């Protein structure tokens, strides 16, 4: 038996009496774990198998998959489900996290980051995108993919403008610039916002406000950057956001 804290990233119904959850655990990393309906119904907290649920789980290893022997809710984050816009964006973060996590590898940084994010977003009543973008940027730092914003990504020249190489992941100085690059022109305001996010823990960004025009530009840049550097194709949560016609 293994006891660990965990967050449910996804639930899959595989039969009338069977559920499989993708569980991001503190001790084991991302795993798949099974539980039958009987357990689910008798559990003191039926939310323990629902996405966003943060709990203590007792697991045992079966044939090729973990099974949940017992679960106890630490926090269900139920308020996330009370607002369709918040729910859609948070569903994206769960799917984003699932995509970037390796199987069966502990990741204490991302685990703590996700818990902090869920606590912040549950209590936020509007303007969710600044925290969504902050979570993405913090994740990129951890993955070693953070955009280089303080010097030329090629030569280290501190005299840089706003020309950003999507492919190389950083700003390019005039000497290194060429027309064959996949260039995205950033504004100084986006660079300033991103540096602020990079240099502050996510807990200090709880009340982060970004001007509507700036967040629109940041959204466009992050979409291009993430699509190039990460495998984020065919994400159901993005389809859900688009279907809801959500705009922050």
User: What is the per-residue pLDDT across 157-215, written as a single tens digit (0 to 9) for each?
Assistant: 999 999 999 999 999 999 999 888 889 999 999 999 999 999 999 999 999 999 999 99
Give the three-class secondary structure for 163: strand
**Pair 176, 155: CB distance under 8 Å:** yes
Q: What is the pLDDT of residue 62?
A: 78
Segment 88-147, tens digit of pLDDT? 999 999 999 999 999 999 999 999 999 999 999 999 998 999 999 999 999 999 999 999
Q: What is the pLDDT of residue 41?
A: 43
Query: In the chain, which segments carry CATH 2.40.50.140?
Result: 2-76
The span from the CA of 134 to the CA of 203, in Å, is 10
The span from the CA of 61 to the CA of 79, in Å, is 33
Q: What one-character DSSP code corresponds to residue 190?
A: H
Angle value at C-alpha 37, between 32 and 40, nearest 5 degrees:
80
Q: Closest Cα to residue 109, out of 91, 94, 93, 97? A: 97
- 103: exposed, middle or buried (C-beta count within 10 Å: 0-12, 13-18, 19+)? exposed
Segment 54-90, tens digit of pLDDT? 999 999 987 778 999 889 999 999 999 999 999 999 9
Higher pLDDT, 144 or 35: 144
> Looking at residues 17-24, what average pLDDT do you find?
88
Using a cut of 0.75, tell me whether the model's pTM lies above it. Answer: yes
**Pair 58, 44: CB distance under 8 Å:** no
> Looking at residues 8-34, what average pLDDT do you find?
89
Which homologous superfamily is 2-76 in? Nucleic acid-binding proteins (2.40.50.140)
**Pair 228, 68: CB distance under 8 Å:** no
| Residue 238: pLDDT over 70 | yes
Q: Topology of domain 79-145+187-243, per CATH?
A: de novo design (two linked rop proteins) (1.20.1440)
Locate tokens 């992050």: which residue? 222
Segment 223-237, tens digit of pLDDT? 999 999 998 888 889
**Pair 94, 52: CB distance under 8 Å:** yes
| Residue 150: pLDDT over 50 | yes
| Residue 43: pLDDT over 90 | no
Q: What is the pLDDT of residue 19?
A: 84
Query: In the chain, which segments carry CATH 1.20.1440?
Result: 79-145+187-243
> Looking at residues 3-30, what average pLDDT do you find?
90
The span from the CA of 135 to the CA of 119, in Å, is 12
């Amino acid at each position: 038996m293994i006891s660990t804290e965990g967050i449910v990233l996804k639930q899959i119904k595989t039969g009338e009496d069977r559920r499989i959850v993708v569980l991001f655990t503190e001790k084991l990393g991302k795993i798949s774990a099974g539980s039958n309906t009987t357990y689910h119904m008798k559990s003191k907290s039926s939310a323990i198998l629902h996405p966003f649920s943060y709990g203590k789980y007792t697991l045992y290893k079966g044939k090729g998959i973990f099974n949940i022997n017992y679960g106890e809710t630490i926090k269900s984050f139920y308020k996330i489900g009370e607002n369709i816009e918040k729910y859609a964006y948070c569903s994206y973060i769960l799917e984003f996290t699932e995509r970037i996590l390796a199987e069966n590898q502990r990741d204490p940084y991302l685990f703590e980051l996700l818990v902090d994010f869920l606590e912040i977003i549950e209590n936020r009543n509007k303007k969710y995108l600044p925290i969504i973008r902050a979570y993405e940027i913090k994740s990129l730092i951890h993955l070693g993919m953070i955009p280089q914003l303080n010097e030329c990504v090629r030569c280290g020249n501190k005299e840089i403008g706003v020309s950003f190489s999507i492919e190389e992941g950083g700003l390019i100085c005039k000497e290194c610039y060429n027309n064959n690059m996949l260039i995205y022109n950033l504004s100084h305001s986006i660079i300033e916002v991103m540096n602020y996010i990079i240099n502050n823990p996510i807990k200090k960004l709880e009340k982060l406000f970004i001007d509507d025009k700036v967040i629109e530009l940041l959204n466009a840049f992050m979409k291009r950057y993430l699509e190039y550097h990460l495998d984020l194709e065919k994400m159901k949560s993005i389809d859900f956001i688009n279907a809801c016609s959500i705009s922050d």
